Structure 1
Amino acid sequence: MSFDPATEGWEQTDAWGLPEFLRPMWMRPDETGFSCGFQPSPALNNGRGVIHGGILATYMDHSLGRTVREAVGRVPIATIQLDLHYLAPGDVTQFVTVKGDITRQTRSIVFIRGTLTQNGKPVLSANGIWKVLSPRS
């Protein structure tokens, strides 16, 4: 039986900027903001049957960026730095969840950390820095 995110309180959301193969993107509110999620497919494996590390990195970057963008009023942002720590292989059959927590914020720089999990098990952790850009005219 496959996992249905909607039955667990997840809502499909606009995934602007996220590569098509990582859609749909799901979001679920929680006590400190929200989490992002997606259902991987076997097409995302690295040849060893686990999710390719680059796929996990892409999803982490997008999810943490989404958290930052919401925190700064949806103005444009850009990743300055993203440090990744692979903790366990990602299972292509299990729903992926990312939760980001902003650790420091100035007018133009946001520091964030996040964890990518599957069934509550940490798979990837990250620390990142985002630049808040001027709104486009």
Structure 2
Amino acid sequence: MSFDPATEGWEQTEAWGLPEFLRPMWLRTDATGFSLGFQPNAALNNGRGVIHGGILATYMDHSLGRTVREAVGRVPIATIQLDLHYLAPGDMNLFVEVRGDITRQTRSVVFIRGMLTQGGKPVLAASGIWKVLSPKG
């Protein structure tokens, strides 16, 4: 039986800047914010039967960046630093979910931490710093 994100309260969302092979991107909101998710496919396999660590890193960077971008009013941002801690292999058969929490925010820099989980179990923890850039125009 395959997982259907739509039946679990997830909605497809824009995935600007995210490579096509990591789409569709799913969004689920609650009273404290939102989570982003995707369903792994065969192209994400690292050859050992688990999700490639670089794929998980890419998804974490994108998801935390989106959390920051929403918090700063959708102005341009850039990753300054992203520290990753791999906790478990990514299961090719389980939906991937990322949740970010901003820990500190100034006018020009945002600090965030996040957790990537599958089936409620931690797979990848991260902390990062994003630079708030001047709006184009």
Q: TM-score, normalised to structure 2's length? A: 0.99
**2:82 alignment partner in structure 1:** 82
How many residue pairs match? The answer is 137
Instruction: Give the aligned CA root-mean-square deviation in angstroms.
Output: 0.5
How far does the alpha carbon of each residue in 1:31-75 deviate from its partner, in whole angstroms, 9 at most, with x for none?
211000000112201110000000000000000000000000000
Between the aligned partners of 2:32 and 2:110, the Cα distance in structure 1 is 17
Query: Is 1:93 the equivalent of 2:117?
Result: no
Q: Quick check: 1:42–1:93 contact (8 Å CA) kept in 2?
A: no
Seq. identity, %: 86
Once superposed, which parts of structure 1, at least 4 consecutive aligned residues long, lie more than 2 Å away?
none
* Other structure's SS at 2:51 match: coil
Q: TM-score, normalised to structure 1's length? A: 0.99
Q: Quick check: 1:42–1:49 contact (8 Å CA) kept in 2?
A: no
**1:24 alignment partner in structure 2:** 24
Q: Quick check: 1:57–1:84 contact (8 Å CA) kept in 2?
A: yes
Give, in angstroms, the shift of residue 136 of structure 1.
0.6
Between the aligned partners of 2:24 and 2:42, the Cα distance in structure 1 is 15
Between the aligned partners of 2:77 and 2:40, the Cα distance in structure 1 is 26
Structure 1 gap segments, 5+ residues each = none
Structure 2 gap segments, 5+ residues each = none
